[in-house]
Amino acid sequence: MIWRNVPAAAGLFAVLYTSGMTAQSIRWFWFASPHTFFPLAGRIAGVAATLAAVFAAAGLYVGFFVAPTDAQQGEVYRIIFIHVPAAWMSMFIYVVMAFWSAIGLALQTRLSAMMARALAPTGALFTFIALWTGSLWGKPTWGTWWVWDARLTSELILLFLYFGFMALTASIDDRRRADRAGALLAIVGVVNVPIIYYSVKWWNTLHQGASVSFTQAPSMAATMLTGMLLMALAFWMYSIAVAMVRVRCEILEAER
Amino acid sequence: MSEFFAMGGYGAYIWGAYGVTFALLALEVIFLLKRKREAKA
């Protein structure tokens, strides 16, 4: 019956027509194809890795040789040069991961799910580093390795969210179902990020408030701030480089 | 030099933090490059 095919043909025509339109009007979709993104990701990774090394060298130099000893804490405060940037990255990477997950769910672009998968291990790593360095700072400064205050607990939950995402996407064989399940987890879990960020305001935490925020001038010496921002740039570039190399692995492995 | 590594008595905490951080980042890079080699092979 030729009648049955009319709606299907109309639907197909509509899809082809609109996809052709978007491909023309929005160039971004060109890079949504893993195949075209692959060489670009390689170039980004190379540049980011170089910049990461430069920023890290500058940051460590400023952090250890330029920034003065802290009047109250002594030398141990130098842990913040990696602690704070690692904590920033742990939250930021999660937001980016949730963003790509949402795009992947909405537009069904394969590369989006690959980006989310590529970011998760690095995000988990920085979350662990934030907890580890915080603990080593807390012992001499607070007198304890760990307290169950809102900041530390919500950051630990972030680590479990990363682990949950990685375990979930790895344990489901069907790739599309795995990516959809992971995306849901990532999107639901993103509520934890503002909780971490504002935990020091909302609750009475042992963890101190933000020394650097969007609304106020930083409450620390200029050289200390410089060292911290250089390390933040280094971690940022490192994350980009590693995520780009990993997304290339994801693309290669998916094509097997 | 030894004064620098002593870090005013906080050496163990500071080098424990920096050592583990950079060791973990290096490990991630090593595992990732291994994965890349295997994916290309």
What residues contact residue A137 under an 8 Å CB cut-off, 6+ apart?
A76, A77, A79, A80, A83, B13, B17
Q: Enumerate the domain spans of chain A.
A: 1-31, 34-254
Q: Tell me the CATH class for A34-254.
A: mainly alpha
pLDDT value of residue A20? 53
Residues of chain B in contact with residue A238, where contact means CB-CB under 8 angstroms, are 25
Q: Which chain A residues have a beta carbon less than 8 Å from that of B18?
A: 79, 82
**Token reading at A83:** 């602690």
Instruction: Choose between A6 and A101: higher pLDDT.
Output: A101
CA angle, B34 then B35 then B41, to 5°: 90
State pLDDT tens for residues A214-252.
777 777 888 999 999 999 999 999 999 999 999 999 999
Reduced to 3 states (helix: H, G, I; strand: E, B; else coil), residue A70 is strand
Question: How do residues B4-32 score in pLDDT, each as one tens digit?
Answer: 988 888 999 999 999 999 999 999 999 99
Q: Does A140 contact chain B (CB < 8 Å)?
A: yes
Q: What is the pLDDT of residue A137?
A: 95
Q: Closest approach of chain B CAs to the CA of A13, in angstroms?
A: 38
Alpha-carbon gap, residue A87 to A130, rounded angstroms:
5
Within an 8 Å CB–CB cutoff, is residue B36 touching chain A? yes
Q: Of A22-36, A47-61, B7-21, where does mean pLDDT reach its minimum?
A: A22-36
Across the range A136-155, mean pLDDT stands at: 94
Mean pLDDT is lowest, of A69-83, A121-135, A216-230, for A216-230
A55 or A217: which carries more pLDDT confidence?
Answer: A55
* pLDDT at position A204: 84
- φ, ψ of residue A61 to 5 degrees: the values are -65, -50
pLDDT surpassing 50 at residue A1: no
Question: Which residues in chain B have their CB less than 8 angstroms from residue A255's CB?
Answer: none
Q: Could you report the predicted ipTM of this complex, rounded to two decimals?
A: 0.95
Q: How many Å apart are CA A88 and CA A66, to the nearest integer?
A: 23
User: Does the CB of A48 have a partner CB in chain B at under 8 Å?
Assistant: no
Mean pLDDT score of chain A, rounded to an integer? 89
Rounded to an integer, the average pLDDT of A20-49 is 78
A117 touches chain B (CB under 8 A): no
Show residues of chain A in contact with B33, CB under 8 Å. 245
For the cut 80, the answer to whether the pLDDT of residue A78 exceeds it is: yes
Residues of chain A above pLDDT 70, percent: 88
Residue tagged 């951080």 (tokens): B21
Does the predicted model carry a pTM greater than 0.90?
no
Which of B14, B28, B35 is facing A75, going by the closest CB pair? B14
